[in-house]
Amino acid sequence: MVLDDLGKSLRGALDDLRGKSRIDEEDVDAVVKEIQRSLLQADVDVDLVMSLSDSIKSRALDEEPPQGTSARDWVLRIVYEELVELVGESTDLPLENQTIMLAGLYGSGKTTTAAKMAWWFSTKGLRPAIIQTDTDRPGAYDQSKEMADRAEVDFYGDPDEDDPVKIAREGLEATESADVRIVDTAGRDGLNEELIAQIERIEQEVNPDRNLLVLDAAMGQSAKSQARDFQEAIGIEGVVITKLDGTAKGGGALAAVDETDSTIAFLGTGETVQDIERFEPDGFISRLLGMGDLKQLTERV
Amino acid sequence: KAKLFATGKTVIDEDDLQKHLDDLELALLQSDVEMGVAQEILDGVEQNLTGQTRRRLSSTGNLVRDALREALYDVISVGQFDFEERIAQADKPVVIIFTGVNGVGKTTSIAKLSHYLDQCGYSSVLANGDTYRAGANEQLQKHAENLDRKFISHEQGSDPTAVIYDAVEYAEANGVDVVLGDTAGRLHTNEGLMDQLEKIDRVIGPDMTLFVDEAVAGQDAVNRAREFDEAAEIDGSILTKADADPQGGAAISIAYVTGKPILFLGTGQDYPDLERFDPEAIVDQLLA
Ligand SMILES: Nc1nc2c(ncn2[C@@H]2O[C@H](COP(=O)(O)OP(=O)(O)OP(=O)(O)O)[C@@H](O)[C@H]2O)c(=O)[nH]1
Ligand SMILES: Nc1nc2c(ncn2[C@@H]2O[C@H](COP(=O)(O)OP(=O)(O)OP(=O)(O)O)[C@@H](O)[C@H]2O)c(=O)[nH]1
Ligand SMILES: [Mg+2]
Ligand SMILES: [Mg+2]
């Protein structure tokens, strides 16, 4: 597999540094090149990769490593720190009453994520409800209702209504007794002005405490512009990466959090309502670089 | 060198060429062409150009660009065939199975293709082989109602092969031209579900298997195209959501690893939003 090769070549490049205490520019160039390849193959935005590798390079050459640190561990630590800085912590989700709206591209996993999140909140002792406002996709109501049943949570939708704003308004009233209201929306993209205007209207009606952008782990370079468009339209407080049970690495999320100045909230790893995890930066960064447990490696420094 | 300039020719300088190739590699990555695929394409371009004396175009950049355009066109135009002609020639009913990962647009593409076939004068029946996902039956059924087509389904959890088998029998008995068989979305890492796809392929023996993927897909497109082609050999692909990402470098990756043509582009959520794929147009977008 290409991806395994990459983790290997990155490890190889770093291993070349093993035993060295001083790093010269050539060493750094070689390692930075491999890191660029890892990140690009993980769908991290090209510009972001370049600016990341610039700062990694200048730090590796300019900063003085702590006493007794090998060149290899030092470079690794810089890479890790730069990525942590970019990714940040997991989105803060207080376990209290709130309304969350989900937005994102067609088929990215919003409806499934709504049910997963509802299930997750219910395991925390809160009472969630899902409000389904998708009036565009055939069968959206049935899908969402069935997922809500599987998650054993309250549900509101209206298959005969074609105004999503009205469904949202009536849904908020109907689910008043719930602690956490999760508003699902139809799929859309930033280039579609009509659908962007529609979600702006829904957002105004719902006035959510936070909006989450649901992003397919396999999404390519357009993650950046899409995230920017959603940010401009409704504001994004967090990102959910779905379909991480495949081989895609979810690097698009880096550009998304960068563009929206937000963080990652959840990871989706399957089609059932339990297949959801709270985001945890270390594992994600290891996955991006195709290397196991980076944190442990860097903690030695 | 001066002499060559005077005759309008130049020997391509290797360092200069490398710089242009590096720039082009980034440009390809930026439009989501997979890295390995981009490198192989550029290796071909380099081999074509190094050490050669060529007619001097306006700059090395243009020369390299033209070579790349050609190389991309070769990849993306692979195996193109006339879909309508193939339908016309085939024994009826023609059975077409749609495969692909979760949420790329298989079900929607079936509805669109049914509309397209109708425009060409062919009748079709929609068969829901997605007996897995919540709301899958209702989704395809609504499409069938909207389009006024016969819809064949079994209850959730049943064998998808049996559904498609039923649809073929229905088509044979009722003189329907084309059976459009949906399958559940699945990731290529899910062995159980990939085996199920193999079974559909083996038992039904479809006339065509169309792999559906989306224009917004990134580097992973090669992995899934390869795995799906291995599980149930594909005859061509449909690239959806081109309206959300007009560049669609994923098309290059998919055509390259499968060696099979991209046949249609999905350009929206409505039934007429399905276009015959134009290799030249995509190359223009990629190099724009
Ligand atoms: N394997 C896997 N599949 C997922 C995951 N999340 C969602 N899916 C699948 O992806 C497909 C699309 O999911 P949906 O929840 O319908 O996506 P959506 O964003 O609501 O789609 P639209 O409403 O049409 O925009 C379905 O087949 C889901 O079962 C995940 O984490 N892993
Ligand atoms: N804008 C746009 N949306 C599309 C296109 N094709 C599909 N969609 C949308 O993408 C979403 C997912 O489409 P589906 O047809 O349900 O995808 P699928 O592959 O059948 O999904 P699963 O069965 O869950 O794996 C829906 O919201 C569709 O309306 C397209 O070409 N353009
Ligand atoms: Mg949905
Ligand atoms: Mg489907």
CB-based contact A251 B142, cutoff 8 Å: no
Q: Which atom of ligand 1 is nearest to A276's Cα?
A: 31
Report how far residue A61's alpha carbon sits from residue A27's, in angstroms, rounded to the nearest whole number: 10
| Residue whose CA is at the smallest distance from ligand 2 atom 21 | B103
3-state secondary structure of B103: coil
Selected for mutation to probe chain A from B109, B228, B269 (highest A CB count within 10 Å) is B269
How far is ligand 3, taken at its centre, from the CA of residue B102, in Å?
A: 12
Closest CA to B42 of B7, B88, B91, B75: B75
- Which helix H or strand E contains B222, and what residues bound it? helix B221-231
Give the CA count within 13 Å in the CB-facing half-sphere of B198.
Answer: 10
Concatenated DSSP letters of A241-296:
EE-TTSS---THHHHHHHHHT-EEEEEE-SSSTT-EEE--HHHHHHHHHT-S-HHH
Distance between CA atoms of residues A152 and A171, nearest Å: 18
CB–CB of A142 and B214 under 8 A?
Answer: no
List, run by run, the mean pLDDT of 10-residue segments along chain A (301 residues): 58 76 83 90 95 93 84 84 92 97 98 98 98 98 98 98 98 98 98 97 98 98 97 98 96 96 97 97 86 71 58
Nearest ligand to the C-alpha of residue A157? 3
From the list B192, B228, B231, B189, the residue with the least C-alpha distance to B211 is: B228
Question: What local confidence, expressed as pLDDT, does residue A3 receive?
Answer: 45
The per-residue pLDDT for B5 is 42
pLDDT at position A239, please? 98
Chain A residues 109-138 within an 8 A CB cutoff of chain B: 109, 136-138
Among A150, A223, A246, select the one facing B188 at the smallest CB separation. A246
| Residue A269: closest CA among A256, A278, A260 | A278
The alpha carbon of B214 and the centre of ligand 2 are apart by a number of angstroms equal to 9
Atom index in ligand 2 nearest the CA of residue B185 equals 25
Nearest ligand 1 atom, CA B134: 29
pTM score of the predicted model: 0.95
Show residues of chain A in contact with B142, CB under 8 Å: 138-139
Residue B51 pLDDT = 60
What does each of the 288 residues of chain B score in pLDDT, given as a tens digit? Answer: 334 444 444 556 677 788 888 989 999 999 999 999 999 999 988 888 876 655 544 456 678 888 899 999 999 999 999 999 999 999 999 999 999 999 999 999 999 999 999 999 999 999 999 999 999 999 999 999 999 999 999 999 999 999 999 999 999 999 999 999 999 999 999 999 999 999 999 999 999 999 999 999 999 999 999 999 999 999 999 999 999 998 889 999 999 999 999 999 999 999 999 999 999 998 988 887
Is any atom of ligand 2 closer than 6 Å to the C-beta of B207?
A: no
Give me the torsion for CA of B156, B158, B160, B165, rounded to 10°: -120
Please indicate whether residue A271, judged by its CB atom, sits closer than 6 Å to ligand 1: yes
Element (H, E) at B224: helix B221-231
Q: Which of B139, B220, B269 sits opposite A248 (nearest CB)?
A: B220
Residue B41 Cα to ligand 4 midpoint, Å, equals 33
